[in-house]
Structure 1
Amino acid sequence: MLKVEVMKVNKSTKRVQLIDGLRGFSLAGIILANMLIFQYGILGESEPKLFGIEGADLAFHSFLFIAVVGSFMPIFAYMFGFGIVKLSDSLQARDLRPKCHLARRFLLLIGIGMLHATFLWEGDILTFYGATGFFLLLFLNRKPKTLLVWSVLLLTVMGAIGMVPVNLEESTAESSSHTRSYIMQSRDVYGSGTYLEIMNFRNHAAMFSEEESSVMLVGILFAPILIAPMFLLGMRAAKRGTFDNPQTMHRTYAQRAAIFIALGLILKAFSVLAPRFFTGTLPGLGLGDLLGGTLLALGYIYAFALLYTTVRRFSLLQNFEAVGKLSLTNYLLQTVICTTIFYGYGLGLFGRAGVFVGAVIVLAVYAVQLWLSPLYLKRFKTGPVEKVLRIWTYLSWKGQPRKPRKDLTLPEERGQAS
């Protein structure tokens, strides 16, 4: 009996290590993708010519859009869905109400996200994740098969939309005069402005014209549908125990990683490179953005999980795990550090460092997090932002769920019930 309990503990520990590692790994890709926004703005990242990006730097820009951009944030979404189910199971085991606790958690995420977007950076994802969490509550008690069906259905819809023919001449045409004007203003303000000037520009400057705003509103309304499959697949993985015992899943991880990485890279490469080599109207150009990023993210997830099936664990994995345990704190710190590096109130490298050098800079920032996170966890059990989130979720200053309710029935009554 003791041996069985020890085996269960080992499996649970291994699973937690893998999940924490995945979170930490995803933050490496997230900071690399976000570098384009930190340095060129949320609109400027897709307009390299306006910043004089060409040659090798332009090639590296294309590489990032194929291999990184849009393929690491979905990993975070996957782990978000996974975490929802695991937290729900933990609360149910303590005879607590999962949806009530999760709702409080989502509300605080929205609050943190709004502060993040207002005072630091326009690329925040926490507000979106918190709002999406309320939608995911509808699927909390659904069976894994139901989650899979909905995921496949939504991915099919995305694929169908991505197959709509696109006029390459129109898609490669220069952006609107309003967009170009906004990007040029942002280059000046973000590159040399004070903190207050940048915050005022971010919160009040008109990013889109009235016509463009209507189109963007439709896109925002449909955004949850585009990312929902990864949330749902993460929830399904938690219910199915996909990562409970990595050693027995070696072949499955390897097969899925190979298939999804290949499909994702092909679709994304086609969407990024096709406009440079073809003319006229071409179907499937949207598959890279709508479907390729999700498939590539799944491939990365299984490829990373494959590392945990090796007999000898890499010491670097433990550093990834430490970063993952502090994922929310590290995500916000990335914003604080990188905006200070690229914005005018810091080093003022906005639009000046170049794509490759910018990547080196942010990867150096992540390397510091890889080094410091394990050191931090030797002294503290959780990160400061994670601690606040736990306190609010459980309404406890200790950040711990209350103990299960005591069974008040008499011993003989329990015997009769059994």
Structure 2
Amino acid sequence: MKKRNHAIDGLRGFSLSGIIVANMLIFQYGLFGETVPELFGIKGADLAFHSFLFIAVVGSFMPIFAFLFGFGMVKLADSLKARELRPKSHLARRFLLLFIFGMLHATFLWEGDILTFYGATGFFLLLFLNRKPKTLLVWSVLLLALTGALGASPMESSVKGLGQSEHTESYILQSRDVYGTGTYAEIKDFRNNADPFGEEEGWIMAIAIVLAPLMIAPMFLLGMRAAKVGTFDDPVAMRRTYARRAAIFVSIGLLTKSFSVLGPQFGGGALPGIGIGETLGGSLLALGYIYAFMLLYAGSRRVALLERFEAVGRLSLTNYLLQSLICTTVFYGYGLGLFGRAGVFDGTLIVLTVYAAQLWLSLLYLKRFRNGPVEKVLRIWTYLSWKGRPRKPVRVAEPLEGESRVS
């Protein structure tokens, strides 16, 4: 039995710290309101911090989760093959339940769900499961180049502008009232039925559905490749490689994202390539963060906090859903009603407090239980076993020489 890769658990737990900070902007301002701080009276130091989050955090931690999704998919498939079980059927069941979890999450709790997208994408990734590492790398580079080209094109800027129409602005202002003061039933009804675009811009959703998988697909594929070539099997031996890649990707990611975020604020909204930070920079910065974090496992001394990151990572699905449950209660009208009122900096402190509690509680939980409750359900369904473990393959005994196979 292979040893668990604690570095991957730690990276998964670390990514949740950035995910909850990025999601705070949606918890507090809505899926469409997070990009228009002026509608919520954000200015001064809070506006500067808002820009900082869009450069350093937003769009650069969720891709880490996508990378790890692809990585985990290959590792699970390898484990199933070693047990002489069928990887694709098990993975398909897993993706189906993730999709269902996501639909329930989005319908009954929060509009920023990503589990639905991940579950649906998983079925597409099955096409690449048995591909060679070189093939995965080629496809990743091609898709990264394509998303970069989209960010440099005028079409990308026009699509962003469509989301800032009068209809969308009216929707955001209405959401401020509903989410801030509404009951659970009122918020649920608004989330599932209100139209943020209107009839003239209805096609923008179709464009978003096409572009979103395109922009994040390279991270899934790169994660699959990393699992196949053993990028994280020996962090000590890979120390120099991690350091070099971290320096390159963090630098390029921050530069491109800074250009895209700060350019429009200084009158450069029409500059060529102004959208490249949003379409490409986020993924590049995510790669930089991945390699920078892995350096913590490449040194001779172990950082004490890593054990807590690993605990959060082992319970990643449960912790992700708990973040939604707690933060919607904090910011929505049926809870503390801080929607649009806490401010960007204070909102960040609030969600980091939630994450700090998860760092502490996750480790305590794992001292008594092997899996998180949501992870347990996912394992039961994946393996079709109440124990949540792979079934042993059924072996048919070979007949002895001279015996008939049919009795």
The TM-score bracket by the shorter chain reads over 0.9
Q: Note if 1:88 corresponds to 2:77.
A: yes
Pair 44,246 (structure 1): closer, same or farther in 2 beyond 3 Å: same
Matched letter for residue 274 of structure 2? L
Matched letter for residue 385 of structure 1? V
More moved, 155-164 vs 82-91:
155-164
What is the CA distance between 1:406 and its match in structure 2? Answer: 4.0
Which residue of structure 2 aligns with residue 134 of structure 1?
123
Summarize deviations over 1:192-234 as a string: whole Å, max 9, x none: 1111111011111112112222022122123211110000000
The separation in 2 between residues aligned to 1:227 and 1:145, in whole angstroms, is: 19
**Is the 1:167–1:282 contact (alpha carbons within 8 Å) kept by the matching residues of 2?**
no
What is the CA distance between 1:104 and its match in structure 2? Answer: 0.4
What is the CA distance between 1:190 and its match in structure 2? Answer: 0.5
The separation in 1 between residues aligned to 2:17 and 2:153, in whole angstroms, is: 33
Pair 281,222 (structure 1): closer, same or farther in 2 beyond 3 Å: closer
SS in structure 1 at match of 2:202: helix
SS in structure 1 at match of 2:305: helix
The separation in 1 between residues aligned to 2:185 and 2:24, in whole angstroms, is: 22
Counterpart among 237, 240, 261 of residue 272 in structure 1: 261
Gaps of 5+ in 2: 402-407
The separation in 2 between residues aligned to 1:106 and 1:284, in whole angstroms, is: 35
The separation in 2 between residues aligned to 1:280 and 1:261, in whole angstroms, is: 24
Counterpart among 44, 57, 62 of residue 73 in structure 1: 62
Counterpart among 382, 387, 393 of residue 398 in structure 1: 387
Q: Note if 1:340 corresponds to 2:297.
A: no
What is the CA distance between 1:397 and its match in structure 2? Answer: 0.4
Query: Percent same amino acid at aligned positions?
Result: 72
Q: Note if 1:116 corresponds to 2:109.
A: no
Pair 359,270 (structure 1): closer, same or farther in 2 beyond 3 Å: same
**Is the 1:165–1:285 contact (alpha carbons within 8 Å) kept by the matching residues of 2?**
no
Alignment of 1:208-357 (within 5 A): 208-279=197-268, 281-357=270-346
**Is the 1:113–1:124 contact (alpha carbons within 8 Å) kept by the matching residues of 2?**
yes
- Taking structure 1 as the reference length, the TM-score comes to 0.93
SS in structure 1 at match of 2:5: helix
More moved, 308-317 vs 141-150:
308-317
Counterpart among 155, 171, 181 of residue 144 in structure 2: 155
**Is the 2:98–2:119 contact (alpha carbons within 8 Å) kept by the matching residues of 1?**
yes
The separation in 2 between residues aligned to 1:143 and 1:99, in whole angstroms, is: 17
Pair 342,246 (structure 1): closer, same or farther in 2 beyond 3 Å: same
- Taking structure 2 as the reference length, the TM-score comes to 0.95
**Is the 1:168–1:279 contact (alpha carbons within 8 Å) kept by the matching residues of 2?**
no
The separation in 2 between residues aligned to 1:42 and 1:353, in whole angstroms, is: 17
The separation in 2 between residues aligned to 1:91 and 1:122, in whole angstroms, is: 34
Matched letter for residue 290 of structure 1? T
Which residue of structure 1 aligns with residue 178 of structure 2?
189
More moved, 47-56 vs 276-285:
276-285
SS in structure 2 at match of 1:247: coil
More helix by share: 1
Matched letter for residue 125 of structure 2? L
The separation in 2 between residues aligned to 1:214 and 1:382, in whole angstroms, is: 42
> How many residues are treated as equivalent by the alignment?
402
Q: Note if 1:371 corresponds to 2:360.
A: yes
Pair 199,22 (structure 1): closer, same or farther in 2 beyond 3 Å: same
SS in structure 2 at match of 1:44: coil
**Is the 1:110–1:128 contact (alpha carbons within 8 Å) kept by the matching residues of 2?**
yes
Pair 326,217 (structure 1): closer, same or farther in 2 beyond 3 Å: same
The separation in 1 between residues aligned to 2:275 and 2:121, in whole angstroms, is: 23
Pair 100,62 (structure 1): closer, same or farther in 2 beyond 3 Å: same
The separation in 1 between residues aligned to 2:394 and 2:301, in whole angstroms, is: 43
What is the CA distance between 1:276 and its match in structure 2? Answer: 2.1
**Is the 1:169–1:279 contact (alpha carbons within 8 Å) kept by the matching residues of 2?**
no
